[in-house]
Structure 1
Amino acid sequence: MDPTKPKLYHIHGMDSRGHLDLYFSGKKDMVFAEDSLKFPMMNLHYQFSSGQIAGKFLIDISIGSLIPHLYSACNVFKDMVVLKLNEQCIMELSRWLHDLTGAYDWGHTSAAVAELEGMEDQLQKKEMQLKSSIKQIFKCDFEQENITSPVVLPLADCIVSAWMLEVISQNEDEYMRNLEKMIKLLKPGGKLLLFGLLDETYMTVGGERFHCLKYDEDFVKNALGKLGLVIDYCAVQKRRNVSDLIDYRAVIFLVACKGE
């Protein structure tokens, strides 16, 4: 492989712990908190407490080994399945889920969401609530028509996807195909909650540069519309940090309903 060419997340893999430390940790020098933690958690808290998202079964299809974006979801959904593209992310998430030695410390995010929900005195309860809601972790493959093959999942009432489509799609046509495969897992009338980074072309993890598909707000809105989803909500936050580790312009969050 050309060493100057960006790697592909779904093909070459990524250092899952390094990814979390750089972009999602509670370290004082972690400059991305406003965009990678606060913006998603505040928006998801608002959506899941609004009463407009309901059901029993949720599927998460997100980059890395993230869990903070699911804290508010477990207030509604007691049955969640998490899909990951590589074994390292599955192992990282499993260590946290089963309280194993070396598990990632998400205390800074459980404290943040507990404050949002007025549960500051029940941090442990909040984390246990999420862990009990995550029933299984499966490996997925977007090269397959059914990305969970050979497992056939029931259709979800809600799908949450954070920063995944841009790292696995090399062009706009591939983005559309991957998005279509994702929403095939969603019930008619179900909700897709989608996070993305606008005008991003790369991200750096472990000193290695990874490809990201550059797109704008109009593109992602049109993509959802072409696949029969109606956008209920959209929020865009301009980038709040300065770093050459990643080059996005803004964070976007959309809620879209799949047609009946």
Structure 2
Amino acid sequence: MDCGPKKFYHKHDFDCRSFHDRYFSDKPDMVFGDDTLTFPMVNFHYVFSSGFVKGDVLIDVSMSSLIHHLYSACDIFKDIIILKANERCNMETSKWKDTRTGAYHWGHASAHAAKLEGKSDQFQDKEKQLKTAISHVISCDFENENITYPVVLPLADCVTSIHILEAICKDEDDFMRNLGKISKLLKPGGHLILISVLNTTYYMVGGVKFSAFQSEEMFVKNALQKLGFVIDYCSVQRRKNDSSLTDYDAAMFITACKTK
């Protein structure tokens, strides 16, 4: 176990496969499934099937090469653009999208998405549908005001973001700046969907300790409101597992509309 200074997901070597195995897989010893898979996928299914989040373009700004949260989105959005702040995770995402040899297996997530829609026997179709909807996988850099510079993207109808803010931010000012940069990807009237873990300071990946920004529910809500968002829906689930791999207290799903 690494006892040195904590590292940051977007600045240091990050083993996304080990991260997925520990926190997002269907392996027997993976204890986080209720919080990392079931909770977000149920809430995404609810939000998208309810009809108040809709449009043509969705931009996803999430950590690692996570895609499980996008299965419900591909029923609505014709164009899904994925941004990655870590080049290794960019390559892993592209490998999965292009069905290349050695791509990470997300079959357990597509099966769960199909089950939520009452179509358990169509999970392979679900995976194909999502891959078809993803038009681009692009590198991004939060050091730039336009995080996709020099590429200028169309403003999105919806932006989804899983765990990226706690993975790249050091303090509250950092959080506000980076949340503001994500907000600029979204058109007025569009929706931002955030999934965060609350009150966390670290997470382990392959024996290496990575830093996590420690935030509370009200801080995140207040940050959104300061940036001109109105919160439509919020769900918080207390941690349901026992593991020293990370120290979060709860998982939070929040949907907010950009008013300006």
* TM-score, normalising length: structure 2: 0.98
More displaced 10-residue stretch of structure 1: 119-128 or 146-155 = 119-128
1-structure distance, mates of 2:245, 2:174:
25
State the percentage of identical aligned residues. Answer: 57
The equivalent of 1:161 in structure 2 is: 161
Q: Does 1:110 align with 2:110?
A: yes
Which residue number in structure 1 is paired with residue 93 of structure 2? Answer: 93
Matches within 5 A, 1:69-88: 69-88=69-88
SS in 2 for 1:102: coil
Residue 9 of structure 1 aligns to a residue whose secondary structure is: coil
Structure 2 unpaired stretches of 5+: none
Q: TM-score, normalised by structure 1?
A: 0.98
2:38 is aligned to 38
Contact 2:199 2:214 in 1 (8 A): yes
How far did residue 3 of structure 1 move? Answer: 5.7
Instruction: For 1:144-183, list aligned pairs within 5 A.
Output: 144-183=144-183
CA distance in 1, matches of 2:221, 2:52: 20
Q: What is residue 193 of structure 2 aligned with on the other side? A: 193
Determine if contact 2:237/2:251 at 8 Å carries over to the other structure. yes
Determine whether 1:231 maps to 2:231: yes
RMSD: 1.0
Secondary structure at 2:10 match in 1: helix
What amino acid is the match of 1:242? D
Q: Deviations over 1:180-235 (max 9, x none)?
A: 00000100000000000100000000100001011111100000001010000010
> Shift in Å at residue 13 of structure 1?
3.1
- For 1:13 and 1:172, locate their aligned partners in 2 and report how far apart those are by CA, in whole Å: 24
- CA deviations on 1:160-192 (whole Å, 9 max, x unpaired) are 000000111100000000000000010000000
Residue 62 of structure 1 corresponds to 62
Partners of 2:237 and 2:86 in 1: how far apart? 29
Q: What are structure 1's unaligned runs of at least 5 residues?
A: none
For residues 166 and 216 of structure 1, the distance between their equivalents in structure 2, rounded to whole angstroms, comes to 11
Question: Runs of 4+ in structure 1 displaced over 6 angstroms?
Answer: none
- Give the corresponding residue for 2:28: 28
Equivalent residues of 2:9, 2:86 under 8 A apart: no
Matched-pair contact (CA < 8 Å) for 2:72–2:113: yes
Higher alpha-carbon deviation: 37-46 or 93-102 = 93-102
